[in-house]
């Protein structure tokens, strides 16, 4: 009788241990938001699954939708290219941290124009999207591109149709460098566009521009590479025409003070090598977790990505976060707790 009782207790303990193990380690986590980093998150998710067996489902639905989904707690993490202010985060009970740095790039589809041949600046780009410049051979474009064969063709402008952090960074840049744009349109994940047709996500804008002759749009740089798009050079804060690449994105981020706040905007930054429409992309989490195992797995995933995903980021022309910034990020994770107040972060 006593032996049987002891065996029963042993069996119960084993079952309890197995049950706890299955509850304390999530096998699948979900995220949603920005299309800007989607190619990289897809690559990281695939590699992480191979390394750990844990599946990361990421939905590229735009920053606006990503913010809504983390607010409503329907995903384990949200993603946005528009950082939330410290005040907004405090009011919502959330934290944010940067994942990688990249750049938003104007792209065109003009017969005979090769990648990097066309030069634009903020004034001309703003005038195109205000509908003030309507032909590719407009004198203002010709002045920036002497000797370039520009057609006497109407410009077809393409922009985002959904709430988008890419749009926020694009319009934030224009608001910094174009006074009329700032007063008439301003900045945001969605704005009242004066002209243009909309595409959903970076994917939609890229596809739209690729099939529409004489068009212009804006997409994250990895979409430029994946779709072999014709990018333009941009005149930066220091008056230098620069190409979009990881070096010019990193140059724009040099002045960011991540140790003070993760709310950092890096458009129109000084520096002769800086890409003027550079941005970081951010992860959002709720501080109080009803499913702490999932939150722990989110931290494991991004900890793994910081340590093992740098080469993948660079291959897709994102800029990995510097090591000293990663240390600051991981310290911030201690703010995320279960309902009893115990931190769920892990390294």
Q: Which two tokens stand for residue 299?
A: 């931290």
- Cross-strand partners of 157: 216
Residue 143, domain member (yes or no): yes
Residue 20, domain member (yes or no): no
Number of other residues whose CB lies within 10 A of the CB of residue 243: 15
In this structure, the chain runs to a length of: 347
DSSP H or E segment with residue 4:
helix 2-24
Which one-letter DSSP state was computed for residue 115? T
Residue ranges, the chain, pLDDT below 70: 1-26, 347
What residue numbers bound the domain in which 238 lies? Answer: 105-253+267-275
Residue 188, domain member (yes or no): yes
d(CA 163, CA 157): 18
Strands 215-220 and 94-109: what pairing? Answer: antiparallel
Residue 47, domain member (yes or no): no
Residue 25, domain member (yes or no): no
Report the CATH number that the domain containing residue 117 is assigned in CATH: 3.40.190.10
What pTM did the predictor assign?
0.86
Q: What pLDDT is stored for residue 6 in this prediction?
A: 37
- Cross-strand partners of 94: 286
DSSP for 30-51, please give it.
EEEE-STTHHHHHHHHHHHHHH
Q: What pLDDT is stored for residue 163 in this prediction?
A: 87
Q: What pLDDT is stored for residue 255 in this prediction?
A: 85
38-52 and 292-308 are packed helices; what angle lies between their axes, rounded to 10 degrees? 100
Residue 122, domain member (yes or no): yes
Angle at alpha carbon of residue 213, lines to 35 and 248, rounded to 5°: 45
Residue 113, domain member (yes or no): yes
Quote the strand ranges of the chain, DSSP E: 28-33, 55-60, 77-80, 94-109, 119-120, 156-160, 197-199, 215-220, 230-231, 233-235, 241-242, 278-286, 288-289, 319-320, 337-338
Angle at alpha carbon of residue 224, lines to 218 and 228, rounded to 5°: 130
Q: What pLDDT is stored for residue 347 in this prediction?
A: 52
Q: What pLDDT is stored for residue 311 in this prediction?
A: 95
Residue 340, domain member (yes or no): no
- Residues 284 and 77: beta-carbon distance below 8 Å: yes
- Residues 344 and 292: beta-carbon distance below 8 Å: yes
Domain count, the chain: 1
């Amino acid at each position: 009788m006593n032996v049987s009782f002891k065996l029963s207790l042993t069996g119960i303990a084993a079952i309890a241990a197995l049950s706890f193990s299955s509850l304390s380690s999530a096998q699948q986590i979900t995220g949603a938001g920005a299309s800007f980093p989607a190619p990289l998150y897809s690559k990281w998710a695939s590699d992480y699954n191979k390394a750990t067996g844990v599946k990361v489902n990421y939905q590229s639905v735009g920053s606006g939708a990503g913010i809504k989904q983390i607010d409503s707690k329907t995903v384990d993490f949200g993603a946005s290219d528009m950082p939330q202010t410290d005040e907004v985060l405090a009011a919502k009970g959330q934290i944010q941290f940067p994942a990688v740095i990249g750049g938003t790039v104007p792209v065109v589809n003009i017969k005979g124009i090769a990648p990097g041949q066309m030069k634009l600046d903020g004034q001309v780009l703003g005038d195109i999207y205000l509908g003030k410049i309507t032909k590719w051979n407009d004198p203002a474009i010709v002045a920036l591109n002497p000797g370039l064969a520009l057609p006497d063709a109407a410009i077809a402008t393409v922009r985002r149709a959904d709430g988008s952090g890419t749009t926020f960074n694009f319009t934030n840049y224009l608001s910094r460098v174009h006074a009329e744009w700032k007063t008439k349109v301003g900045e945001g994940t969605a704005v009242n566009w004066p002209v243009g047709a909309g595409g959903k996500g970076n994917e939609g804008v890229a596809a739209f521009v690729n099939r529409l002759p004489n068009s212009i749009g804006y997409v994250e740089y990895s979409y430029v590479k994946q779709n072999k798009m014709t990018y333009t050079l941009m005149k930066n804060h220091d008056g230098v025409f620069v190409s979009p690449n990881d070096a010019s994105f990193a140059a724009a981020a040099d002045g960011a003070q991540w140790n003070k706040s993760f709310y950092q905007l890096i458009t129109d930054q000084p520096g002769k090598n800086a890409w003027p429409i550079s941005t970081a992309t951010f992860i959002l989490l709720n501080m109080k977790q009803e499913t702490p195992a999932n939150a722990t797995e989110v931290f494991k995933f991004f900890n793994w990505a910081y340590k093992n995903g740098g080469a993948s980021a660079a291959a897709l022309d994102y800029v990995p976060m510097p090591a000293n910034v990663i240390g600051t990020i991981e310290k911030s994770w201690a703010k995320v707790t279960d309902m009893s107040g115990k931190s769920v972060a892990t390294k």
